[in-house]
Each structure stands twice: as C-alpha cells, then as structure tokens.
Structure 1
Amino acid sequence: MALDTNDRAIAGFTMTGHSLVHWFETSIPIFLVVWLAEFDVSVALLGIVVALGYAPFGLGALPGGILADIYGTKRLVLLCLGGMSLSFLVLSIAPNIYAITVGLVLWGVAASVYHPAGLSLISTGVEERGTVFAWHGIAGNVGIALGPFVAATLLIFLDWQLVAALLAIPGLVAVAYGLSADFDPMNAVDDVEETTEEALSLSELFGQSRALLASAFGLVFVIVTFEGLFYRGMLTYLPEILHGLPAMEAFELSADLRGIEPADYIYVGFLVVGMAGQYAGGKLTDRVPAERGLLAIFGVLALLALAFIPVTGMGLGALLALCGVLGFFLFAIQPFYQNAVAVHTPTDTRGLSYGYTYLGEFGLGSASIAIGGFVLDSFALSAFFAMLAAFALIAAALSAGLLVFQDRLDPSREHAAGAGTDD
C-alpha cells in the first residue's frame, strides 16, 4: 500500500534525522587518531573523553522520551539536529582536549533525544507504520556507513577542524528542511488528549514508569536490553575480529593501496546488507506479530553466532556469506522490537516508552562492550560468540514468554497480527 501525504512527510523527516544521528555517531572514532597526534594525549585518556560523549547518547534516551511527550516530537527532533550540528562546530574550533570533551558531551546530549522522539512520532503519526519503520531503519544504516567513509575521505585532503565543520552542514540543512515540513504527528491515533507543556512531577513519572514496566512493555524492555547486548557487542568487536582472521590473507594489497584494510570493506558491506534487513523486517511487521518475529530472528541470530567459528575455517567465501546473512538479520529485528513497543504501550506515554527502549538498547546494552573485551582478552574467540549466542537465546525465550502471556500481561489490549493498532 502506498504511503499517504502525511506518512511520506513524517517518513522523510524521521529518515533524515535518523541518518544524521548515526552520521555523526560513527564519524567520531575517525577523529581519534588525529586527536591523539594533535593533543599528545594517551589512548586511555582520549578513550575516557570519547566515552563521556557516547554515554549520554544512551542514558539520555529516557529523559528524551519524557520531553518528547511534554513538548512534542517534531520540536525535539529539530533540537536534536541543531544541537548535533552545533556540537561539531564546537569541535571544529576546539583548541585543546577540554574543548573536545565539551563538544562530544554536547553531541551525546543532543543525539540522545532522537530515538524516543523520532520513533514516537512514527508510532503516533503514521498509518503504514511497518513500512516507515523499515525505511527509517535503512536511513540509519546509510548514516552508519556514510559517516566514517566521508570523514575518513575528507581527512585525506583537509585539516580535521575543517572536516568537523563540513560534517555539521548536513545537520543545519536538515533543520531548515524540518522547519518547513508539514504533517500531523497524531494522525494515526484516535481520541488524542491535548498535550500540555507541563513537566511531569516525580510521582507522576514514577507512576507512569511503574505502570509501563508492570505491563507487557516491561518484558519488551528486557528483550530490547538483550538485543542491545548482542548488537553492541557484535558491532564493536566484529571489525577487530575480522582483521585477525586467517581468511583476510586472501586479500594481499599492493604497496600503492597500503592503509586500506579489506576487513573494513567487509564490515561496510555487513552494514549495507543491514539496509535490506531493515526493509524486510519493517515490511514483515505489517504481516507477522512482533512477538513471533522477535522469537524467530533471535533464534537465527543465536545460530549464526554459534556458526561463526566453524565457518571461518571454510574459507573467504563462506565468511562473506555468513557476514551477509548476519548483517541482514541483525538489522531485520529492529523494526520488530520498535513495533512491539508501539503495540504494548498507550499513546500518551509513547515517548517515555521509547525512552526506556533506547535506555536498554544503547545504555544497558553497551555493557557488552566491557564484558566482550574481558572475554576476548581472557578466553578463546569461540567464547565471545558463545556469549553473544547466549544473549540471543535468552531474548528468544523472553520473546516466547511475551507471545504466550501477552494477554495476561496486557489484558486491556487486543493483539492483532502485524503492526497492531492502539485501542
């Protein structure tokens, strides 16, 4: 079914925002090598600095969701885009590591509000929710792939300060575009109560949070956290793992191409295939209940993680095929959990719900970076993939529980197949 005018407007607005969040996010590590040389600091210190920037990205999702419910989703997305662009302009004039820290923290705070605001906007304003979730996810993958590629390419020719400033330009253009975008953010919701721009009291916030976490959404939140543990662990360490595999010896580059790492191109391909996964997953959410989709895809991810070690011994072709399939399913699952949140939460707390969702995905899920580093340092590579498989299997079991007990957990809702609608 073709998207109507309102759906297309929201899709364009949120796809732009999602791609730029990840455009900025994945370009930051490219600057690390330059900053190490420029400011003569240790890797450990700069790692702390970058962590201070990334931390608010996940931890700020919950307050971002609260603000989206109070002040409106479009306003929050525009502030996000403007704030991220401003932060990179701060980086472009940073004279020392302290100013770098300020710029990165500003970016993390600004970026943190996007996911709860953008996804809440889709869930309340779009009729063809599954399709738009799919395109929204694809746009995020475009940003993930293009951010580091463009930053690395520009740094070959330009000073890093100018590159940081140039990377801010698309964000500023997006703000201008967003200001002119015209759509109804509550078009897909019936009987909407007028939103008041009043801050929630602590008791109201506690009450809404308790009601959410005591419903089926509480189980969805735990499922998303385990998905985040799998996702963050895989994306963080897969490039390093690929670099160390014997199969990479099949790529022997000439001296003229020194500095180009074949493993990096495999990783970019992994992300590009993820776009197809996002699209397929989003389309399937219109036909398959979110709970069944989550159960099936987590099962596939567990099998793929367990298959990684034996497949690496089968040669380069088998490795490329596994990475392609893994990239497809790793991103195909995202529209399902995003839709599960929409199905199992009331409209008036949708921003808060997505705030909790991305607190679990990017905040709690980032624990697998520390856990994975310890496992890789202390045990064989197979133990790392066994750990990821365990995360997926636990999430699959929880998804099965959601499928079986959803009516008992959420008795006031009717669980239709596919995307589902708010009652």
Structure 2
Amino acid sequence: MDSNDRSIAGFTMAGHGLVHWFETSIPIFLVVWLAEFDVGVALLGLVVALGYAPFGLGALPAGILADRYGPKRLVLACLAGMSGAFVVLAVSDSIVTLAFALVLWGVAASIYHPAGLALISTGVEDRGTVFAWHGIAGNVGIALGPFVAATLLIFLEWQLVAAILAVPGLFAFAYGITAEFDPTAAVEDDVDAGPSEALSLSELVTNSRTLFAGAFGLIFVIVTFEGLYYRGMLTYLPEILHGLPAMDALVLPDGLEGIEPADYIYVGLLVVGMAGQYVGGKLTNRLEPAHGLAGLFVVLAALAVAFVPVTEMGLGAIVVLCGVFGFFLFAIQPFYQDAVAVYTPADTRGLSYGYTYLGEFGLGAASIAIGGYVLGGFSTATFFLVIASFAVVGTVLSAVLAVGLDRFVGAGKRVETGTDD
C-alpha cells in the first residue's frame, strides 16, 4: 500500500470499528435499563428497535449525501453524531430521552458504510488489502463493544459507562480532521468521483434506474440475501447455543458459575471472523467477485445445514463448527463490497453503497421476524434449513453474475474505475 492507501485505511478502519463498537454495546445495557426506567421488555424493545431501524434505512440517503458532499465529511459527521448520541445517552433520565439518544445514534451510524466504502473504492489502489483490514476493524468493534461495556458495568454506573464508550469516537473524530488523503486516487482523471452538485429528484431516479438496469440490480438482490442469512444467524444463534444440552452439561469450576459458555463461544466466533475478513479481502485481488460470492454462498449453505446434526453433538464439535462458520460468514463480505466497486461507476459509488446497505441491514433485517416465527412454531432444524435457503438463492444469483450478466441484461457491463472494460 502507498501512503494514500494507508491514510484512507486508518481513517476508515477507525470509523468501521467504532460503528460496531457502539452497535453491539447497546444490547448490554438492556438489563440495566429495564430496572432503571421500570418499563416492560416490549416497550424497551420498541425503543431499541427505533434506534436500530435508521441504521439500515438511513443508508440510502447517506449514500446520496456522500456523492454530494464527499465521503470524508460524511464519515466525520458519523463519528461526531455517534459519540454525541452516547453523551446524550449518558445524561438520559427518562425513556423518552433514551429513545431520542438511540435514534440519534442510528441516524449517525447509518452514514458510515456508504461513505466509508465509497471512499475506499475511489481512493485506494490496493483495494483488496484495505477491504481486508477494514473488515477486521469492524470485527474488532463487534467483539470489543459488548465485552468492554459488560466489564465496565460490573464496576460503574451505566451513565458513566455510556460516557466512557463515547470517548474513542471523539478521539477518532479529532484524528479524522487531521487525516490527509486523495479520495479519488484510484479512479481515472476524467472521472468525477468527488463531491457533486446537488442531486435533483429526477437525477436520483435516473441514476438509480441506470444502476438497477445493469449488473448492480442483481448485486443488490445478492447482498439482500446475504443480509437475510447474516442477520438471522447472528440474531438467534446465541439463544440457540444457550439452549443446547452440551452447554447445560458443562460443569464450571467454583467461582465461575455465572459465566455462560455459550456467550464465549459466540464472541469467539466473532473473533475468528477477523481472519475471515482478512482472507476474503486478500482473495478479492485474485478472484472475480461473482466467483468468490458463489463459492462462499455454497459453503454458508452447507454450514447452516451442518448445524442441524452438530447441535446434538458434544461441546467440541459445536465449538469447531462455530469457528468455521465465523470464518466464512465474514469472508464473504469483502466480495460483495468489491462487486459494487467493480460493477458501478465511480461517480455514483456513494449511491451504490447506500442501496447496498439498505439491502444488507434494512431488508436483511426481515430475517429477524422470519426467524422468530420459525423458531416459535417449528423446530430448530427448520430454522437452520430456512437460513440455508437464503444462501442457496445467493449461490444461484451469484452464478448468474459469474457466467456473464451481459447475456441477460443489456446494460450490465463491468465497470472498473468508472469505465467499461
């Protein structure tokens, strides 16, 4: 990587890690808030849902703003907004103020992925390597957020913990202001990948129509099915692990009775995902994104099905499967991120990633409702088979992309740095 790549990598890695640092720390506060505000689980769940909803739904407008104002400004706004939201959270004295703080966080957090990935795709020459390190940073945040929050809550009041969690975001914002890099270094000189003029409604419709008429239309559906798989598995796997006989049969030494082995297996899964992110990112330099997506979806479908017999086995088999699952679950992410960069024009990259994360976090969240319905009325085996079906669909769609979308959609041409190959 050259100095520009390293500067962008550091800036976006800080942003990506902190988005997930805040995201995964919020559920840790739930038990405390139930007692603090004397509300029911249903009401508090609705309040937390109000915070998470903009995280996915705000990705599209965030992508539009990234194309208009430039990705660096948007990432800085994200860091400031998330940190400010946790400061508001720290002084919340009512459920209404709590809801306001969480909604503010969700709006700010929705900015990151379209803006940060647009910056990498237009500013970085060694894109695969930066995607790898960027993904690792996200997994570090995913693992550290709940760990740090839970540990601090043992010793400190939750308001002080919320304030402490905001501090890294403030430092990252200060660092970002001083960071210098060329956000268009990886695109052709005649491609306007910088901040654009105000995007009218007609231009938005035209640009969106152009994107979805080509290869990106298929990529959007592929990402949505990856999101359905990802969100469904990560939402319900902890609960499923807690209920396994292998966990109940595990006898812990004296003094460790309060530790839940299932939680540590789940955190371990997320840690192994760092390796998956790195390997997946590096492989994007060697494999066409469609080929990588197709192969990884096959593996993910097989792993979901494998959970059916393995959950009836011993602890060792469960730990191994969770480790393998964590690796491949996160290895696929650099491939769809790279697919967007490969098949979309540079000057609509923010809009492209906005739609991408609308599919990943917005539409993908539908699997929370689907998974809850299946687990409530059917067996755990049925749940894993439904999740596997999402990966099967992703495999088929990725294969279509791999064999050449030009045969099916006239406008579907490979785009590299804003030009047709």
Equivalence for 1:27: 25
What residue number does 1:365 align with? 364
Find the counterpart in structure 1 of residue 115 from structure 2: 117
SS in 2 for 1:88: helix
Deviations 1:168-192 (A, max 9, x none): 0000000000011110000000022
Per-residue deviation at 1:248?
Answer: 1.0
State the 1:322 CA deviation.
Answer: 0.7
| Contact 1:250–1:316 (8 Å) recurs in 2 | no
- In the alignment, the residues of structure 1 paired with residue 192 and residue 155 of structure 2 have an alpha-carbon distance, to the nearest angstrom, of 54
In the TM superposition, residue 312 of structure 1 has moved relative to its aligned partner by 2.1
- Aligned equivalents of 2:232 and 2:180: distance in 1? 39
How far apart are 1:247 and its partner, in Å?
1.3
Q: Distance in 2 between matches of 1:199 and 1:28?
A: 35
Residue in 2 that maps onto 1:274: 273
What SS is found at the alignment partner of 1:199? coil
Q: CA deviation at 1:255?
A: 5.0
Tell me the CA shift for residue 194 of structure 1: 7.0
SS of 2:255 mapped into structure 1: helix
Shift of 1:277: 0.4
Matches within 5 A, 1:351-390: 351-390=350-389
Equivalent residue number for residue 86 of structure 1: 84
The answer to whether the 8 Å contact 1:116/1:351 transfers is yes
- After superposing on structure 2, the runs of 4+ consecutive aligned residues of structure 1 that deviate more than 3 Å are 194-198, 408-415
1:96 has 2:103 as partner: no
Q: Would the aligned equivalents of 2:19 and 2:109 in 1 still touch at CA under 8 Å?
A: yes
Aligned to 1:159: 157
Distance 2:180 2:194 in 1: 19
Shift of 1:311: 1.6
> Which residue matches 1:329?
328
Mapped partners of 1:194, 1:317: distance in 2: 50
Kindly tell me: are residues 152 and 362 of structure 1, through their superposed partners in 2, closer, same or farther at Cα, counting changes over 3 Å? Answer: same
| Partner residue, 2:64 | 66
Which whole-Å deviations, capped at 9, do the CAs of 1:78-113 have from their partners, x for residues lacking one?
000000000000000001000000000000000001
Greater Cα offset, 250-259 or 119-128: 250-259
Residues 349 and 414 of structure 1, relative CA distance in 2, 3 Å threshold: closer
**2:67, 2:150 → 1: CA distance?**
38
Partner of 2:138: 140
Q: Report if the CA contact (8 A) 1:26-1:144 is conserved.
A: yes
2:15, 2:194 → 1: CA distance?
Answer: 23
Aligned-pair CA distance for 1:38? 0.2
Aligned partners of 2:314 and 2:125: how far apart in 1?
Answer: 46
Does structure 1 retain, via aligned residues, the 8 Å contact 2:345–2:417?
no
Partner of 1:188: 186
Mapping 1:230-245, distance limit 5 Å: 230-245=229-244
In structure 1, the residue matched to 2:200 is 201
Contact kept, 8 Å, 1:212 with 1:218, in 2: the verdict is yes
**One-letter code aligned to 1:14:** T
Aligned residues: 417
Per-residue displacement from partner, 1:186-205 (whole Å, max 9, x unpaired)?
Answer: 00000222745532111111
Query: How many Å separate the matches in 1 of 2:146 and 2:126?
Result: 32
Q: SS of the residue aligned with 2:122? A: helix
Indicate the residue corresponding to 2:104 in structure 1. Answer: 106
Provide the C-alpha distance between the structure 2 equivalents of 1:217 and 1:351, rounded to a whole number of angstroms.
13
User: C-alpha deviations, 1:38-67, integer Å up to 9, x for none?
Assistant: 000000000000000000000000000000
Q: What percentage of residue pairs aligned between the two structures are identical? A: 73
Could you say which residue in structure 2 is the equivalent of 1:174? 172
1:242/1:224 Cα in 2 relative to 1: closer, same or farther (>3 Å)? same
Normalised TM-score (structure 1): 0.96
Aligned counterparts of 1:366 and 1:352: Cα–Cα separation in 2: 20
Shift of 1:210: 0.8
2:141 partner SS: helix
Measure the CA separation in 2 of the matches of 1:84 and 1:20.
9
Distance 1:228 1:380 in 2: 22
| Structure 1 residue 404, shift from structure 2 partner | 1.7
Instruction: State how far apart, in whole Å, the 1-side matches of 2:172 and 2:410 are.
Output: 39
Partner of 1:293: 292
Please give the alpha-carbon distance, in whole angstroms, between the structure 2 residues aligned to 1:132 and 1:340.
15
Deviation of 1:254 after TM superposition, in Å, equals 4.0
1:318 CA drift (Å) = 1.2
TM-aligned CA deviation for residue 258 of structure 1: 3.1
Counterpart position of 1:41: 39
**Matches of residues 223-262 of structure 1 in structure 2 within 5 Å?**
223-262=222-261
- The one-letter code sitting in structure 2 at the alignment partner of 1:92 is A
Alpha-carbon separation, structure 2, partners of 1:195 and 1:104: 31
> Which blocks of at least 5 consecutive residues in structure 1 are unaligned?
none
Q: Per the alignment, do residues 271 and 211 of structure 1 end up closer, same or farther by CA in structure 2, a change over 3 Å counting? A: same
Q: CA deviation at 1:319?
A: 1.0
Maintained 8 Å contact 1:216/1:410: no
Helix, strand or coil: the match of 1:275?
A: helix
Which residue of structure 1 lines up, in the alignment, with residue 313 of structure 2? 314
Whole-Å separation in 2 of the counterparts to 1:75 and 1:362: 22
Q: CA deviation digits over 1:14-42, x for unaligned, max 9? A: 00000000000000000110000000000
The residue that corresponds to 2:344 in the other structure is 345
CA distance in 1, matches of 2:218, 2:232: 21
Q: Tell me the secondary structure at the aligned position of residue 257 of structure 1.
A: coil
Corresponding residue of 1:221: 220
What's 1:304 paired with?
303
Q: Which amino acid aligns with 2:391?
A: A
Confirm or deny: 8 A CA contact 1:134 1:280 kept in the other structure: yes
Residue 414 of structure 1 and its aligned partner are, at CA, apart by: 4.8
Deviation for aligned residue 1:314: 2.9
Unaligned 5+ runs, structure 2:
none
